[in-house]
Amino acid sequence: MIWFGSVYSIGIRPSVGDTQYEAQKIDSTLAAALAEAAPTEQLPVIVHLLEQADLSLRDLPEATLARRVAVVERLQETAVSTQPALLQELDALAGNGRVSQIRPFWIVNAIAVRADSIAVQALATRADVAVITLDEAVPLVAPLHPSLPNWAMPAAPTNGETTWGVARIRAPYAWYGLGLDGSGVTVAIMDSGVDWTHPALLANYRGNLGNGVYEHAGNWYQAAVPTLTEPVDLIGHGTHVAGTAVG
């Protein structure tokens, strides 16, 4: 995403009053990192724009597929309309060696960039900037030790008994060891297809709107036979994979 031009010329420090205002926009983790860094050292940061896309459901189409298209368009339009001036300033800062690796985003109206302390302070004075955060690396969760006991589970988080395949991939360790059951996550199966009517899958199929209403558009894709109107699996392998993936 693009940020608008800064108030200060490059290399000129802001006044004390403005510095206090900047502090409100510089995340505490970033402030601590800047305090330890050399004055000219560039740190990875994300500059979040104040203006974000309005995704209120009342203003979006009711049809699921049309709504998704509208959301993407609105996110992109917001980025395009709010970022040019900020990108211009970042280009100027880059020309002075203050920033590098500028990467605009649109899913969140923000820009990732490597910036030194003076550049961060200048960006923080902008009225269109909400907050500047440190772009930290997020470590992977370390796997549980293989010697952990196989807990006697009363039941899996879904209806029915835990199958061999689900147990084999050690899903219960995620459920009970990490407290993760996949709620709210959508899984796409790229295989031979999926039998969406399978009793172990139907309740969690994204196209199942409830009360016997189903919407397949936008919830599956068949490249081989594009004329098909609903998910199919003539082999069964994809359905098996889906069962393992969603537990």
Q: What predicted TM-score, i.e. pTM, was given to this entire model?
A: 0.54
d(CA 135, CA 115): 11
Beta sheet of 99-104, edge-to-edge order: 99-104, 110-115, 43-49, 129-134
Is the per-residue pLDDT at 147 higher than 80?
Answer: no
- pLDDT for the residue 234: 82
- Sequential DSSP letters for the chain: ---PPPSSPTTPPPPHHHHHHHHHHB-HHHHHHHHHS-TT--EEEEEEES------GGGS-SSHHHHHHHHHHHHHHHHHHHSHHHHHHHHHHHHTTSEEEEEE-SSSSEEEEEE-HHHHHHHHT-TTEEEEEE----PPPPPPPTTS-----S--SSSSPPPHHHHHTTHHIIIIIS----TT------SSB--TT-TTTGGG-TTEEETTEE--TTT---SS-TT--S--BSSSHHHHHHHHHH-
What confidence category does residue 38 fall into, taking pLDDT thresholds of 50, 70 and 90? very high
The residue with greater pLDDT, 187 or 151, is 187
Give the mean model confidence (pLDDT) for residues 149-163.
Answer: 49
pLDDT of residue 62: 75
Cβ atoms within 10 Å of 40's Cβ, excluding its own: 10
Q: Please report which confidence band the pLDDT of residue 173 belongs to, taking 50, 70 and 90 as the band edges.
A: confident
pLDDT category, 16, cuts 50, 70, 90? very low
Q: What percent of the chain has pLDDT over 70?
A: 81
Looking at every residue in the chain, the average pLDDT score rounds to 81
- Please list, in sequence order, all residues whose beta carbon lies within 8 angstroms of the beta carbon of residue 28, skipping any fewer than 6 positions away: none
Cβ neighbors of 13 (< 8 A, separation 6 or more) are 19, 118, 121
Residue 14's pLDDT is what? 43
| Confidence (pLDDT) at 142 | 62
**Two tokens at 26?**
């510089």
Q: Of 196, 190, 182, 186, which Cα lies nearest the Cα of 224?
A: 190
Task: Kindly report, residue by residue over 64-119, the tens digit of the pLDDT.
Answer: 788 888 889 999 999 999 999 999 999 999 999 999 999 999 999 999 999 999 99
* pLDDT, position 13: 38
What would the pLDDT profile of 192-226 be if each residue is shown by its tens digit? 889 989 988 998 899 999 999 999 888 888 777 77
Q: List pLDDT tens digits, range 42-59.
A: 999 999 999 999 888 777
